Structure formats: C-alpha cells, structure tokens
Structure 1
Amino acid sequence: MAKEELIEMHGKVTEVLPDGRYRVTLDNEHNLIAYAGGKLKKNHIRIIAGDEVTLEMSPYDLSKGRITFRHLPPKTGNMAPPPARRY
C-alpha cells in the first residue's frame, strides 16, 4: 500500500491553544487546529501567534494539520551589526 499524499499549505498562527496545539488560518481563510511536528519539538522551535507557518494536512481530514516549518519574518536593514567578540 502506498503512503498517502499530504497536502502542503501556508497559513498564519492566530491562537496558541493548550497541549501544544495551535489555531491556524490558511491563506484561503480556512481555520484548522494544528500541532508542531517532531523536528520543531526536537529543536525547541517556539511558535507564537502571528507566525507564518507551512503545514501538512491529510486529504481525509482537512480540519487538522501538522506544522512542519516556521517562516522567519524578513529582516530590516536598520539593525546595527552585533558587537565584535573577544576571545
């Protein structure tokens, strides 16, 4: 039996829920409940409300998903470089 094909979508975290779950609004205005994938948990990547994320959904249940990537906000050029470290 072949592994099922997952649907990959982009969305924005609108609310952090208890038990490691998140309410995500997709680009097409569909709301769903998602959880952080294993690599996000393993590497202690924090997800907060307002983060842009990529998530995977099963074609059989479009109300649940797994967050696989957190997109970083674009950096602005107004920040000063970090101070030089002395060793």
Structure 2
Amino acid sequence: MAKDDLVSFEGKVSNLSGGGVFFITLDNGVDISAKLCGKMKRFKIKVVTGDRVTVGLSPYDPTHGLILHRHKF
C-alpha cells in the first residue's frame, strides 16, 4: 500500500516501547501504535513523549500506523 492511500490523523505521543514502537493518542481519543516512516529514520528525526505528530493509518487496519511528520511548537 502506498503512502498516498493512508488516511492522515493528528495526535500526541503518549508512550514509547521497545523496537521503535510509539503509542499515540489521536485527537478523537483513539489509542494506536505506530512506527517511524523511512525518511524520519534516515534523517534521524527524534520523537519523544508529548510530541504532536501526524500519523498515516491504513483503512484496512486502523490500529497500527506510520508516523509521517513531527510538528514543531
């Protein structure tokens, strides 16, 4: 599935887990798990607890996502 097919949501990182898995609370109150996208890994963009992020969710599995963007304050 291409990145163009993902549905974008905004949320806040609530917890970190091993293996690069982040737990995110979306603005609508749903909790999901997500990983960093390839470009964020490539350019070593750090995401910590409390950061606002944009997450791409697949319409087929809305419980797992891909962190696409970290918002600046």
TM-score (norm. length: structure 1): 0.78
List, as ranges, runs of 4+ consecutive aligned residues in structure 1 with deviation greater than 3 Å: none
Other-structure match for 1:42: 42
Q: Which structure is richer in relative contact order (CA contacts within 8 A, separation 6 or more)?
A: 2
Residue 47 of structure 1 and its aligned partner are, at CA, apart by: 0.3
Secondary structure of the 2:49 match is: coil
- 1:19-75: CA deviation from partner (whole Å, max 9, x where unpaired): 0010000000000000000000000000000000001000010000000000011xx
What residue ranges of structure 2 are gaps of 5+ in the alignment?
none
Alignment RMSD, CA only?
Answer: 1.6
Letter in 2 for 1:70: R
Identity %: 37
- Partner in structure 1 of residue 7 of structure 2: 7
The structure with the greater share of residues assigned to helix is 2
Q: Distance in 2 between matches of 1:16 and 1:72?
A: 19
1:61 aligns with 2:61: yes
Which has the higher Rg, Structure 1 or Structure 2?
A: 1
